[in-house]
Amino acid sequence: MKITRLTALLLIVVLVSTAAFANGKAEPLGTEENPIVWSFVPSGDTQEISAGGNEVADMIFEKTGIVVEASVATEYAGVIEALSSDPPSAHMTSLATFAYVVAADRGVVEAELVSVRYGRPFYDGQIITGVDSGIKSIADLKGKTFARPDPLSTSGWIIPSLTMRAAGVNPDTDLKQVVDAGGHTGVVTAVYNGDVDAGATYVDARGNIKEDHPDVMDKVVVIEVSAPIPNDGVQFSPVVPDDMKEKIITALLEIAADEKGAEALNRAYQWNALERHGDDFYDPFRQVLQAAGVDAATLVGE
């Protein structure tokens, strides 16, 4: 009988409490009892990310026999801690740029694949506001409420906070309030509804709510666009054996090249394709942080 991934995951529920350790030894990574946990952080709708991630995980299982379990975390810091635990409780991640740099510099993860959106392995950030807010420039953000997706979001907070400082706005003291919206869609929604004065997302997260709010492009306007930022992608914990990692990478590249697989990747994280890039792909971004005097470890409380 062919064992599907759904059957495998159901077996986890039944057997994990008794079979995680057999004869005092942990079950091999990538099995039903000890799946590879692939951690995402919401950039859009959590249910869509989970559904798309699990669909891709099913395809990986079909191609390799390796059990991968997609998991949607609530914040980047939690995923970094999961990578840093002993043993790690996350083995694959899709961290955004800044969070990846923090985790990589700790030695708990390494990039292997970078996503492609709209034909580029880079993306841009934007600062948005309500059309009637009176905010026309970065300087106008003083005394205003501001929404961010996550404290470690590259386009949603790290780059905007550097941009504010360069314009003479201290995000720690000059903003009236900073609200964590839980994702880029949440930021757009908060600005659209007038719950906050402004916010930051990737370009162009406004489209995430266009179906429900067709006038979003008119009501929510962009006042600043960042320089290009390296995309997120797929990163692995050092505990994943090299041969297993290569099988998963090969499978993901095949999935990205297949129409059904591409649809699943797009559903999960709006990825149009995947390219092989290692840690050095993020070095130019590290140089930006260094030039700005930003200590990544300090920002995450290390």
Taking the C-alpha atoms of residue 126 and residue 96, their distance in angstroms, rounded to an integer, is 15
Specify the pLDDT at position 207.
94
Specify the pLDDT at position 243.
97
**Bond before 214 cis per omega within 30 degrees:** no
The structure tokens listed for 277 are 């890039």
In the predicted model, what is the mean pLDDT of residues 104-123?
Answer: 93
In the predicted model, what is the mean pLDDT of residues 9-31?
Answer: 55
Burial class (CB in 10 A: 0-12, 13-18, 19+), 295: exposed
Please say if the pLDDT value at position 127 is more than 80: yes
Specify the pLDDT at position 295.
73
Burial class (CB in 10 A: 0-12, 13-18, 19+), 105: middle
Please say if the pLDDT value at position 26 is more than 80: no
Specify the pLDDT at position 18.
41
In the predicted model, what is the mean pLDDT of residues 56-83?
Answer: 93
In the predicted model, what is the mean pLDDT of residues 102-129?
Answer: 94
Longest dimension (CA), the chain: 67
Confidence bin at 298 (pLDDT 50/70/90): low
pTM over 0.95: no
Taking the C-alpha atoms of residue 201 and residue 44, their distance in angstroms, rounded to an integer, is 11
Confidence bin at 147 (pLDDT 50/70/90): very high
Burial class (CB in 10 A: 0-12, 13-18, 19+), 290: exposed
In the predicted model, what is the mean pLDDT of residues 67-93?
Answer: 93
Taking the C-alpha atoms of residue 77 and residue 41, their distance in angstroms, rounded to an integer, is 10
pLDDT digits (tens, 9 = 90+) for 230-254: 999 999 999 999 999 999 999 999 9
Taking the C-alpha atoms of residue 69 and residue 29, their distance in angstroms, rounded to an integer, is 12
Specify the pLDDT at position 109.
96
Please say if the pLDDT value at position 75 is more than 90: no
Would you say 36 and 29 are in contact if contact means Cβ atoms under 8 Å apart?
yes
DSSP 115: E
Please say if the pLDDT value at position 203 is more than 60: yes
Specify the pLDDT at position 296.
67
Would you say 189 and 209 are in contact if contact means Cβ atoms under 8 Å apart?
yes
Specify the pLDDT at position 299.
58
Coil vs helix vs strand at 230: strand
**What is the end-to-end Cα distance of the chain in Å, rounded?**
49
Phi-psi region of 30 (alpha: psi -120 to 50; beta: other; left: phi over 0): left
- More confident call, 27 vs 222: 222
**Average pLDDT, rounded, for the chain:** 88
**Bond before 212 cis per omega within 30 degrees:** no
Report for 11-25, 158-172, 237-251, 288-302: range of highest mean pLDDT: 237-251
Tell me which residue of 101, 95, 67, 97 sits closest to 82, measured CA to CA.
Answer: 95
Specify the pLDDT at position 44.
60
In the predicted model, what is the mean pLDDT of residues 130-138?
Answer: 96
Domains of the chain and any CATH numbers:
34-118+231-299 (3.40.190.10), 125-226 (3.40.190.10)
Taking the C-alpha atoms of residue 123 and residue 228, their distance in angstroms, rounded to an integer, is 5
Please say if the pLDDT value at position 77 is more than 50: yes
Coil vs helix vs strand at 289: helix
Specify the pLDDT at position 288.
85
Would you say 169 and 137 are in contact if contact means Cβ atoms under 8 Å apart?
no
- More confident call, 83 vs 299: 83
Coil vs helix vs strand at 234: strand
In the predicted model, what is the mean pLDDT of residues 40-69?
Answer: 88
Taking the C-alpha atoms of residue 195 and residue 15, their distance in angstroms, rounded to an integer, is 46
Confidence bin at 4 (pLDDT 50/70/90): low
In the predicted model, what is the mean pLDDT of residues 197-225?
Answer: 96
In the predicted model, what is the mean pLDDT of residues 297-302?
Answer: 56
Strand partners, 68: 36
